[in-house]
């Protein structure tokens, strides 16, 4: 159902089972999947793909050109995965040619009010961004990450799976998977034990992650020494290897 006051371009691909509220604007080169609800006063700009069963609340802006001086109007994209909820006044900008070319929000994300997702950001599955979380360009966030309210994340930062970032934090460096980070300049505060328990991680896995966390962040050895010691002393569970590989591949440096 499309409200008669909505403006929907004839070149937009809108499933018959989509609801579009009053005064919303859907531009050309947009596709919207079955079961999605677009609230009132929403702007969905060009080159946006919204999956099925999403909900976009009033006054959200999806697909506007990136806030990047080097952007010259090239054809870039926004993709939003199935079941994602975008709350009031959230802004999601398109990608850039000097990035990945696409800003991608994963499946079943929750973006609370006033969030900003800048160009070329990528989020995984079931990511939660609380109110006023702000993502600068080229940020990658793994599956099941929670980012608290009023958090500001620097360009090119990565946040690993199942991490928790506390509210009012500034995040200038990568945050490894499975940890808690918080603070004016975010610091690590151990494993995200509550989150891991809620997601059904076995105690044996949590114990091994605790060992590898201690080796990297509690005993004051170099990164290379920590990698060697972790591989020698900790069971090679997939989560442990993921933790080590995330740190090894960091370009911005690791939050400590």
| Residues assigned a catalytic role | 119-120, 137
- The whole-angstrom separation of Cα 196 and Cα 198 is 5
Strand (E) or helix (H) holding 195: helix 193-198
> What are the tokens at 78?
């926004």
- The whole-angstrom separation of Cα 65 and Cα 203 is 46
- The whole-angstrom separation of Cα 127 and Cα 222 is 32
Question: Are 58 and 3 contacting, i.e. CB atoms less than 8 angstroms apart?
Answer: no
Question: Are 149 and 135 contacting, i.e. CB atoms less than 8 angstroms apart?
Answer: no
> What are the tokens at 190?
């151990």
Strands 140-141 and 85-86: unpaired
CA-closest candidate to residue 75, choices 105, 53, 99, 95? 95
Quick one: CA dihedral 29, 20, 83, 140, positive or negative? positive
């Amino acid at each position: 159902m499309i409200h008669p006051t909505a403006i929907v371009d004839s070149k937009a691909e809108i499933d018959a089972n989509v609801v579009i509220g009053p005064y919303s604007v859907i531009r050309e080169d947009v596709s919207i999947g079955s079961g999605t609800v677009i609230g009132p006063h929403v702007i969905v700009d060009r080159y946006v793909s919204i999956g099925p069963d999403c909900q976009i609340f009033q006054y959200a802006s999806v697909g506007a050109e990136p806030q990047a001086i080097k952007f010259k109007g090239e054809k870039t994209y926004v993709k939003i995965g199935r079941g994602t909820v975008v709350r009031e006044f959230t802004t999601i900008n398109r990608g850039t040619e000097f990035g990945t070319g696409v800003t991608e929000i994963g499946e079943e994300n929750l973006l609370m009010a006033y969030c900003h997702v800048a160009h070329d950001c990528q989020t995984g599955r079931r990511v939660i961004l609380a109110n006023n979380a702000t993502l600068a360009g080229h940020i990658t966030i793994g599956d099941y990450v929670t980012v608290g309210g009023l958090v500001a994340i620097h360009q090119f930062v990565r946040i690993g799976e199942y991490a928790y970032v506390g509210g009012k934090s500034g995040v200038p460096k990568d945050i490894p998977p499975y940890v808690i980070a918080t603070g004016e300049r975010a610091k690590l505060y151990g494993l995200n034990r509550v989150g891991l328990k809620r997601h059904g991680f076995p105690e044996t896995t949590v114990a091994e992650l605790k060992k590898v966390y201690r080796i990297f962040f509690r005993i004051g050895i170099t990164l290379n020494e920590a990698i060697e010691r972790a591989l020698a002393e900790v069971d090679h569970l997939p989560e442990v290897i993921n933790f080590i590989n995330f740190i090894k591949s960091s370009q911005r440096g690791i939050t400590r």
